[in-house]
Amino acid sequence: MGLVEELLVQPTITGILLVMVFFLIVHFLFSDASSQEENKEPPGPKPLPILGNLLQLNLKRPYLTLHEMSKKYGSIFTVYLGPKKVVVLAGYQTVKQALVNYADEFGNRDIIPVFFDFSKGYGILFSNGENWKEMRRFSLTSLRDFGMGKKMSEEKIIEETHYLREVIEEFQGNPFDTSQPLNYATSNVISAIVYGSRFQYSDLQFKEMVNRVNENIRVLGSPSIQIYNMFPWLGCWLRNWKLMMKNMEQNKKHIKELLDKLEETLNLEETRGLIDSFLIRKKKAEKAGDKDTLFNEQNLIMTVSNLFSAGTDTTSTTLRWCLLLMAKYPQVQDRVHEEIDRVTGGRQPVVEDRKNMPYTDAVIHETQRLANIVPMSLPHTTSCDVKFQGFIIKKGTCVFPLLTSVLRDESQWESPQSFNPAHFLDEQGRFVKKDAFMPFSAGRRSCLGESLARMELFLFFTYLMQHFHFTPPPGVSEDELELTSAVGLTLNPSPHKLCAVSRASHTHS
């Protein structure tokens, strides 16, 4: 007979106490185990005091180190960037589950020091709560009103393709850097929607503004700025931080000058662009005596700055990758030329042609997948304590949805590391959508200009392909064209030049 049974058969005070102690111990052990289970945080490498896991990261390309770590620690793990705890989400299933199925819990933006320096909590990209909701809602509505994803923006983009072609033709087939012409073209599309007009490529203020935005996006990915985000007190000693602040102030000043001009010529009956719509809302709030309105000057300057930066860099960077890949893989370029010539017969390509150009569409999608230009997305933060995949992630924890691990997920892509347009084609050569194609992120914080960007990529790419054959510079072989990305917040191709040889005989327009 066991101890407990014996004590129960011959009840004594001692026996009863022993039984109670026995049950308390059992309860304590099991409840402690379950509470440990309930408070289980994602695993990760052991951090050092103050430095965290800093010494284990490649600060020029942290997304590569984090992707490697996911193979050891799983699809959800913890790292410390200096003293700051970060939860990394890796792989298609985990990232999608967090951003889509737990959209509210993972939907806030983590406003790291450098982003706060820029925005002070205004605008769309680096704000939360009511401010973010109102500015995003307004921007989406305005972008749609001014033609995003519709015929109106298609016409603006088509008009810009002609200006871009003229600039490229001036190089007469000689090697040139693709970055500035493509940056100016994509900037002008967003400018036409936001300001109501485009700029001349020769406009010095416009060129300086675009160049400052690009410089800031490059510097944002530098090791010194990442160190600054971990230890903000270092700011005043960092050259890159001072450069970014100077660029930001100059761009804000330039935006303010443009806003003042638009305000002077504002017509309440006829809105020219998103800024006019904002100014009208601002005046109505002022007239009604609403001192707490979110339609204030800080939000206007920051929203315009956000749209201009996001609308310029990501699209032009993707187009640069498209042209570089065409020069590197001439057999792919030949198939694209053949399909475009067959479908258009030499007339201007239009969005409607996309459904008849499955191969070209697959090439654009595969470029976006392989170029992987926003590898870590922008950081999120949890809006409450979240129980996710058996782990507890506390409210206010910084979260990196590792988009590179989605776009290179071996369970989703046949050859994740190589350029393979067949990823988006079925056996009959028809275009196939892929769930793990997530370059615009997903959920509440997905790119609000996605439909505009998709339209731009298709129209610019097909028009350039229709008119030019892209090759490496003389003396450089296709194999020598580098596919390593430069360091930056977004991943641009490494500096290079291409030749754009006219295909005049193939086109009639």
- Cα–Cα nearest to 463, from 190, 210, 157: 157
Q: Is 499 annotated as a binding residue?
A: no
The CATH number assigned to the domain with range 39-502 reads 1.10.630.10
Domain segments of the chain as ranges: 39-502
Torsion sign over Cα 459, 194, 162, 167 = negative
Q: Give residue 33's pLDDT.
A: 34
DSSP, res 60: S
Q: Give residue 143's pLDDT.
A: 85
- Decide: helix, strand or coil at residue 73: helix
The tokens describing 384, both together, are 């409450």
Strand partners, 388: 391
- Cα–Cα nearest to 395, from 113, 108, 116: 108
Distances (CA, A) of 221 to 42, 59, 173, 206, 289: 26, 9, 33, 24, 43
Cα–Cα dist 25/449, whole Å:
59
Q: Give residue 21's pLDDT.
A: 44
Angle at 101 between CA 96 and CA 102, to 5 degrees: 100
Distances (CA, A) of 98 to 149, 286, 384: 27, 40, 13
If you search the block for the tokens 């010095």, which residue do you land on?
204
Helix (H) or strand (E) holding 398, with range, is strand 398-401
Cα–Cα dist 12/18, whole Å:
10
Q: Give residue 26's pLDDT.
A: 41
DSSP, res 98: I
pLDDT in tens, the chain (509 residues): 443 333 333 344 444 444 444 544 444 444 333 333 456 999 999 999 999 999 999 988 999 999 999 999 999 999 999 999 999 999 999 999 999 999 999 999 999 999 999 899 999 989 999 999 999 999 999 888 876 667 778 999 999 999 999 999 999 999 999 999 999 999 999 999 899 889 999 999 999 999 999 899 989 988 999 999 999 998 888 999 999 999 999 999 999 999 999 999 998 888 888 999 999 999 989 888 888 899 999 999 999 999 888 888 899 999 999 999 999 999 999 999 999 999 999 999 999 999 999 999 999 999 999 999 999 999 999 999 999 999 999 999 999 999 999 999 999 999 999 999 999 999 999 999 999 999 999 988 988 888 899 999 999 999 999 999 999 999 999 988 989 888 888 899 999 999 999 997 555 44
Q: Give residue 39's pLDDT.
A: 65
- Cα–Cα nearest to 94, from 112, 106, 111, 76: 76
If you search the block for the tokens 């610019």, which residue do you land on?
460
Cα–Cα dist 179/129, whole Å:
36
DSSP, res 100: I
Kind of pairing between the strands at 398-401 and 84-89 = parallel
Cα–Cα dist 403/465, whole Å:
29
Q: Give residue 38's pLDDT.
A: 53
- Cα–Cα nearest to 399, from 59, 130, 128, 79: 79
Q: Give residue 151's pLDDT.
A: 74
Q: Find the distance separating the first CA and the last CA of the chain, reported in whole Å.
A: 99
Task: Decide if 53 contacts 80 (C-beta within 8 A).
Answer: yes
The tokens describing 178, both together, are 């693709």
- Cα–Cα nearest to 226, from 63, 72, 382, 89: 63
Give the global pTM.
Answer: 0.89
The tokens describing 191, both together, are 């400018």
